[in-house]
Amino acid sequence: MQLIKGESSFWMNKQNLILDKFEWQDEYFAISVSESVLDKVRNYIKNQEQHHSKKTFDDEFIIKYGFQRFDDK
**Global confidence as pTM:** 0.44
Please give the Cα distance from 41 to 69 (Å, whole number): 21
pLDDT value, residue 73? 55
Nearest to 69 by CA among 41, 30, 25: 30
CB 73 within 8 A of CB 28: no
Give me the residues of the chain with pLDDT under 70, please.
69-73
pLDDT value, residue 50? 80
pLDDT value, residue 42? 92
pLDDT value, residue 71? 65
pLDDT value, residue 34? 93
Please give the Cα distance from 20 to 1 (Å, whole number): 23
Domain ranges for the chain: 1-30, 33-73
Q: Residue 35's CB: how many other CB atoms inside 10 A? A: 6
